[in-house]
Amino acid sequence: MTEQISITAISSISPLGISPKEIWNAYLNDTSLLTKQNFDNESVWVGTLTREGKRIVEVLKESDSKYRNLDESVLYAMLVARNAMQMAGWVSGDNFGINIGSSRGATTLFEKYHKEFLSSGNSSTLASPTTTLGNISSWIAHDLQTQGPEISHSITCSTALHSLLNGIAWLKSGMAEKFMVGGSEAPLTPFTIAQIKALKIYSKEEMAYPCRAFDMNKRLNSMVLGEGASIACLEKGIPENALAVIEGMGYATEILEHNISISTDAICFQRSMKMALKDTNPDDVDVIVMHAPGTIKGDESELNAIEKIFCNKKLFCTTNKWKIGHTFGASGMLSLELAVLMLQHQKAIKVPFVTYNNVPDKISKVLVNAVGFGGNAVSILLKKVI
């Protein structure tokens, strides 16, 4: 990348919390934040927002009559966007672009309105405008009064990192000076949970860590869904408030055998990581934040790809899904947030049920991976601000 792009703010809401201090302290505590909830009289593992997080979202919802009919995925994103803008020092009315994606969009409202239609044959007036995918970025643009472009998209679980790619493209093209990127997801609904369970990949564990992400010894699939949103502010150059510099980016899609397949050696990840590294010596990478959804094949294939690209070097690998669950379209940016926090605090966050013999005492570069149904992988290489 010839022109440097920096992350000047990153904000999120997830089972970890909402403030950067609260989130970091939650990472330092090994206890998983996944809990059991009842969906249609069946108890399942999920990663839900904290009580305080839910209270703050409810305050936002009641702050304006227009916001009362919005889906949680939109409210999460609006709340996080406000925080990110403030942290970056941007002001309302600035000419910055917005690209916030979601894998499933307005999940709760869509299921509610569809159920209503099936029972009555009629649909509510607000059913269409509140469930369109573009409604996340457009509401953020309204709330923040930006004059820049607004984009929404869905590229399954790599959605948030694809928004990062798109934001970088706008900045490097000269068509924007600042861009807000990220993802938001509120998928904890009966139908969505049922869909993932139908794939035979949902966790049934009764252990302290029901999602065994990056556990190479697990015998059962252990994906757990979580909710949340994460947004980053991008700017050209390296301003004084830069949190991290984007050293490289990569993307790839592989040929599928079926709808949710990924090759044994995750060819898409090999290609995306190789592109992100470009001229960077693989030995200079200190940490990899894996996608690691907690499924047997998903975790194994990504690790195989890492071993091939890094020539079997025993890198420090980690993930956050054992703690907050898989947040679909928001997951990539939440992983990026973990990478930024590790660069800032110079501390590698371990997965508690994984044995490590290679914990770095200095973190200069972190590689972040995400992939979704369709084999669309993204890898982002971050470096510490010097």
Alpha-carbon span 289 to 317, nearest angstrom: 6
CA distance 177 to 81: 17
pLDDT score of 207: 85
Q: Which of 193, 226, 175 is nearest to 48 (CA)?
A: 226
b/e burial code for range 335-360 (CB count within 10 A of at least 16 → b): bbbbbbbbbeeebbbebebbeeeeeb
Same domain for 69 and 161, yes or no, is yes
Same domain for 311 and 180? no
What the block records as the tokens of 80 is 């996080």
Residues 39 and 177 occupy one common structural domain:
yes
76 and 143 part of one domain: yes
Among 207, 236, 265, the domain boundary falls at: 236
pLDDT, tens digit, for every residue of 345-355? 999 999 999 99
Q: Which residues, in sequence order, are bridge partners of residue 100?
A: 182
- In the chain, the percentage of residues whose pLDDT exceeds 90 is 89
Q: Is 322 within the bounds of a domain?
A: yes
Same domain, 182 and 109: yes
Asked if 67 and 148 sit in the same domain, the reply is yes
Is 242 among the domain residues? no
Predicted pLDDT at 1:
45
Q: Are residues 29 and 158 in the same domain?
A: yes
Instruction: Give a yes or no: residue 195 inside a domain.
Output: yes
Flag whether 75 is in a domain.
yes
- What is the residue-wise DSSP string for 210-268? S--TT-TT-SS--B-EE-EEEEEEEEES--TT--EEEEEEEEEE---SSTT---TT-HH
Kindly state the tokens that stand for 231: 């947004």
CB atoms within 10 A of CB 119: 8
Kindly state whether residues 204 and 327 are assigned to the same domain.
no
Query: pLDDT tens-digit profile of 18-61?
Result: 999 999 999 999 889 999 999 878 899 999 999 999 999 999 99
Specify the CATH number for the domain of residue 320: 3.40.47.10
Q: In this structure, are 19 and 161 located in the same domain?
A: yes
Choose among 382, 158, 350, 183: nearest CA to 269: 158
Residues 224 and 254 in one domain: no
Instruction: Count the neighbouring beta carbons within 10 Å of the beta carbon of residue 86.
Output: 12
Which of the listed residues 236, 256, 287 is the one where a domain comes to its end? 236
Stated pTM of the model: 0.96
The answer to whether residues 252 and 349 belong to one domain is: yes
Instruction: Give the per-residue pLDDT at 263.
Output: 75
Indicate the pLDDT class of residue 254, thresholds 50, 70 and 90. confident
Of 215, 236, 257, the domain-final residue: 236
With a cut of 50, say whether residue 224 has pLDDT above it: yes
Residue pLDDT, tens place only, 80-104? 999 999 999 999 888 899 999 999 9
In a domain, 243, yes or no: no
Q: Is residue 73 part of a domain?
A: yes
Reported as a pLDDT band with limits 50, 70 and 90, residue 255 is: confident
Residue 35: give the domain boundaries.
5-236
Closest CA to 369 of 382, 357, 378: 378
Question: In this predicted model, what pLDDT tens digit does every residue of 322-367 receive, in sequence order?
Answer: 999 999 999 999 999 999 999 999 999 999 999 999 999 999 999 9
Number of compact structural domains in the chain: 2
Same domain assignment for residues 138 and 272: no
